[in-house]
Amino acid sequence: MPETQAETPVQTSASAVELLEPFVKQLSQVVVGKEHLIRLATCCLIAEGHLLIEDIPGVGKTTLAKALGLSASLEYNRIQFTSDMLPTDILGLSIYSRQREAFDFHPGPIFSQLVLADEVNRATPKTQSALLEAMAEHQVSIEGLTRELPSPFFVIATQNPVDFSGTFPLPDSQLDRFLMRLSMGYPDREAERNLLLNPNRQQMMDKLKPVIDAASMLQLQTQARSIQASDALIDYVLALVHASRHHSALQTGMSPRASLALLRSSRAWALMQGRQFVLPEDVQAVFVAVASHRFNPISGAELSAVEIANQMLDEVPVP
Amino acid sequence: MSYSSYQSVDLPKIAASAPDMRTMTWLLASLALVVAPHIERLPIWFLGLFLAACALRIWQLKHQRRSIPGWIKLCLTLLALAGIWLEYGTLLSRQANTGLLCVMLALKVMETAKRRDVYLLISMAYFVAITQFLFNQSFYLTLYLLGVVVVITATLIVIEHQPIRQLSGRSNTQFISNRHLFQSALRMLLYGIPLMATLFLFFPRLESPMWGVPQKSLNAKTGISDEMEPGNILKLFIDDSPAFRVEFEGVIPPQSQRYWRGPTLWNFDGRKWTRQRTVGNPPSIDPEQITDPFRYSLTMEPTQNHWVFGLDRIVEVPDRTRMETDMTMYQRRPITSITTLNMISDPDIPLDLELGPMFREAALQLPDGFNPLTQALADQWRKETESPGLIVQRAINMFSTEGFEYSFTPPPIGRNSVDDFLFETKSGYCEYYSSAFTALMRAAGIPSRVVTGYQGGFYNEESEYLLVRQSDAHAWSEVWLEDRGWMRVDPTAAVAADRVNLGALDTFERSRGPFDYEWMRALRNRFDSLQRFWNQQVINFDKARQHSLLKPLGIEDMTHKQSVLALTLISSAILALALWRLIRQQERRDPDRIHQLYLAFQKRMKKLGVESSPAEGPIDFARRCKANCPQLTDQIDRVIDAYVQLRYAGHQHSAVERQLKDALRTLS
């Protein structure tokens, strides 16, 4: 229907800002003192990527995921990964119905707009790959039938970086499928005081109202794709990618998929700033989150991946 | 943060948006300028309609009102059509069509809701500019229209800039100053000159210039007519426009001999002199008789008349021109375009030594029962004086001694016009004198006639040509004397010798209009050579001239097909050149050059104590700069603003680049 499309007024990016500001504000009330993190998570959502949150238990990973789902009025499912989980536990399966004398498909928890995959590294690689394939393809094939996943489709996976006993760490190729990796970190003193004074998080969570509907979210995603990235900016992205590939402390650099991811996230970030074009500052804002989990420091490296990413930002000149 | 001005921006939406105030002001100004020369040919109500449309549009824009409903527009259109029809009596004439065009232009102003409408109006404005040439092809109009075209082009730039101007979120003149606007427009038009010259040289030409479509137009000069009654020539006195220009080969006749004869008038009805239809050719001239002739080429301005003017006595009649027995020259078609005629005259050859009985009768004809006093005076003179030559002398003496005066505002004369003039009012100008003198001579039995034409002219020393204006119109007399033929007698000269020596205008101190001063006249005379050059080189550029111009290039007798081919080839070459230039320009506006400007900015800030880090984005750097030099916040914002637009927002626009440079300058 090209005609009706032409007549719908194009949503301006001003409204992108107007839409997203209350969204971020509401999330900050629940996940206190983590505004930048919340913005990055939102950015990930707008850039149509999936998010990996890596941190010790109890810093609010689940709270963030839940609040995100509620505020964006996304249909929310949580999967707690365990080592005895099977792919069908995620994807769903067909069960023979005696009455109908046929197989009925029972969709698994993956058929949801927002999926929280808690402790994703506890599952066996077989189960992990079922999830990751669904994330990449936006569809699942079960028993020879391809089933579309809902749209928007957004996976937030969490894992504990400290306690590795009985886990199957995600291989590099799987990590690459996450657009961003965030680390929650401890809240600062003020935020934590706030947290202790208002202990009833659950009640707050129940009071959360949807701020953006799924349609608006899809529209924001469409807009983000059309944000202008000039030649100079592409040069900057290339310079960063190049630096990662020739960094002495890294085994491998960023793949082309990673550079695409960086540009995609930068675009979404620019849209969130209300701009129609990407600035180097946008790239810098998302770089660590997008790049660091794809870095593979050599054994015995002095710096962690995040530190290396930050160092690159300081060193690579803006063209 | 100033780059926040990029928020709330959507390019496609702005592209479809309505013209803003600056665009509208420019548009209306250029429309007013382009329509202005048409005003005298347009109905009076047009001015009201145009102004009302402009005012309405500005008001709507200021108060954010919607445009007027369609049915009102329809009614107005129909009314306008009816008005044009009433004014011109037709919808299918040159004037009616231009009138219609201008009226539609005014109506279109009312509905300039979108940028598209502005583009339409701009195209119409260019077209209206061309239509001016249907009525007038003078050099000055061309100059004026060139200026107007610059303004229209500037308007085009303004509307082109509108989205990005609004994007920049800055005031209009900050974005691009009017001076820059004019410069850009002028530059664009200069680029067009090679193409224009090619079209001018190679476009297939007609045998004669295509301007002079014969049709009565308000602007056409009436010039000398074939009738004379008091008042006719007076209208010409106040007309400063050129009648013709003459270039002499060799000898230039002195002022007192510059009598450019036009129609010879024979018939007198007591008030009005008219032509006598004479059939036949003037007596042929023995070439041996010609001793010391004037050779000249005379370039006539268009009139609606047939008359051709020349010095006595014309020996060689120009092409396409006929001469009658009484030396009246005319062309079969009215002279509607600038026409150059080559002539030879020898002042020493007498006119008609023999006078046939028919002509004698015509030259003695007087209406019955008019002017009894004149008749009585003539009878008395005839008794007292023997020779006709002495009678002529006596009449001339009478004019110079008996209190006659030269005046442009003579008292009215009655039925016996000659009696009244000779015996009572004794005041008038050339028409009065030649009419009275001729009537007096006829009453005294001397064959005589009136000659109308021009006398004198301004000799332009620099460009070596004589300019004869309509205001040089004159009337004099000729008497026929035995053995001497027709002799020119100028009774006006007897009264006001200055008329002949200085010209009619300079005989009076009085100015004839608000802009009529001595120095202005001098200036106009001087600038006339420009107009003449224009006429000869541009307006008169016909097939023959094209041919002679192309001949040295080895192009002989180009057919239309060939000339179109040449035109296409040369135009393509020019366009290819332009394209190449454009591409090169694009290359020069490459990011590196903009980066150089940014580096210059960093250098300046370093001097002010803010060191940039290479890995720092422009916005972050600007933030630090402003923190360090809060007094420069505005300038820094402007630099970063423009830089970010050029480098990251994909606006490869020279105006923005200029803005970046300007902003940088304010920092140093």
Beta bridge partners of residue B423, listed in sequence order = none
| Chain B residues with CB-CB distance to A13 below 8 A | 7-10
Are A230 and B11 inside 8 Å of each other by CB? no
Is the per-residue pLDDT at A199 higher than 80? no
Are A233 and B648 inside 8 Å of each other by CB? yes
Q: Which of A266, A271, A276 to mutate to test the interface with B (most CBs of B within 10 A)?
A: A276
The three-state secondary structure class of B580 is: helix
- Whether the CB of B12 is below 8 Å from some CB of chain A: the reply is yes
ipTM above 0.85, yes or no: no
- Whether the CB of B644 is below 8 Å from some CB of chain A: the reply is yes
Which residues of A make CB contacts under 8 Å with B?
A: 9-10, 12-14, 17, 228, 230-233, 274-281, 284, 313-319
For residue range A119-150, what is the model confidence (pLDDT) as tens digits? 888 888 888 888 888 888 888 888 778 888 88
Q: Is the dihedral of CA A11, A14, A16, A22 positive or negative?
A: negative
pLDDT at A262: 93
| Rg for chain A, CA atoms, rounded | 20
Query: CB-based contacts of B448: which residues, under 8 Å, 6+ apart?
Result: B363, B437, B438, B441, B442, B477, B478, B479, B480
Are B9 and A230 inside 8 Å of each other by CB? no
- Whether the CB of B133 is below 8 Å from some CB of chain A: the reply is no
What is the SS3 assignment for B70-89? Answer: HHHHHHHHHHHHHHHHHHHC
The three-state secondary structure class of A77 is: strand
> What is the average pLDDT across A222-231?
88
- Whether the CB of B10 is below 8 Å from some CB of chain A: the reply is yes
Are A318 and B6 inside 8 Å of each other by CB? no
Are A275 and B647 inside 8 Å of each other by CB? no
Measure B166 CA to nearest chain A CA, in Å.
14
Residue numbers of B between 92 and 131 with CB closer than 8 Å to A: none
Pairing of strands B339-345, A180-182: unpaired
| Chain B residues with CB-CB distance to A232 below 8 A | 591, 595, 647-648
Comparing CB atoms, the residue among B10, B617, B648 nearest residue A12 is B10
Query: CB-based contacts of B100: which residues, under 8 Å, 6+ apart?
Result: B80, B81, B84, B91
Contact B60, B67 (CB under 8 A): yes
Give buried/exposed letters for A292-305 (b at 16+ CB in 10 A, else e).
bbbbebeeebeeeb
Comparing CB atoms, the residue among A232, A317, A318 nearest residue B591 is A232
Are A230 and B648 inside 8 Å of each other by CB? yes
Phi/psi at B410 (nearest 5 deg)? Answer: -75, 155
| Chain A residues with CB-CB distance to B647 below 8 A | 230, 232
Report the alpha-carbon distance of residue B478 to residue B392 in Å, rounded: 11
For residue range A13-47, what is the model confidence (pLDDT) as tens digits? 447 888 888 888 888 888 888 888 999 999 999 99
DSSP codes, B13-54: HHHTSPP-HHHHHHHHHHHHHHHGGGGGGS-HHHHHHHHHHH
DSSP codes, B124-156: HHHHHHHHGGGT---HHHHHHHHHHHHHHHHHH
| Maximal C-alpha separation, chain A | 69
Measure A56 CA to nearest chain B CA, in Å.
33
For residue range A270-300, what is the model confidence (pLDDT) as tens digits? 999 888 889 999 999 999 999 988 888 888 7
| Confidence (pTM) | 0.52
Are B614 and A317 inside 8 Å of each other by CB? yes
Counting every residue, how long is chain B? 668
- Paired tokens of B74: 């329809």
Comparing CB atoms, the residue among B618, B620, B650 nearest residue A230 is B650
| Chain A residues with CB-CB distance to B3 below 8 A | 275
Measure A273 CA to nearest chain B CA, in Å.
8
Quickly state the pLDDT bin for A87 (edges 50, 70, 90): confident
Are B591 and A313 inside 8 Å of each other by CB? no
Contact B285, B349 (CB under 8 A): yes
pLDDT at A150: 87
A to B CB pairs, distance under 8 Å: 75
For residue range A162-193, what is the model confidence (pLDDT) as tens digits? 777 778 888 877 888 899 998 888 888 888 88
For residue range B344-374, what is the model confidence (pLDDT) as tens digits? 888 888 888 888 888 888 889 888 888 888 9
Q: A287: burial class by Cβ within 10 Å (0-12, 13-18, 19+)?
A: buried
Quickly state the pLDDT bin for A161 (edges 50, 70, 90): confident
At the topology level of CATH, where does A227-319 sit? Helicase, Ruva Protein; domain 3 (1.10.8)
> What is the average pLDDT across A240-266?
89
Sites in chain B below the pLDDT cut of 70: 1-17, 164-175, 206-223, 230-238, 278-279, 499-518, 521, 556-558, 586-591, 652-653, 668
Residue numbers of B between 603 and 622 with CB closer than 8 Å to A: 613-620
Superfamily of structural domain A12-225: P-loop containing nucleotide triphosphate hydrolases (3.40.50.300)
Q: Where are the domains of chain A?
A: 12-225, 227-319
Tokens 């701020």, residue located: A211
From the centroid of its chain, how far is CA A231? Answer: 27
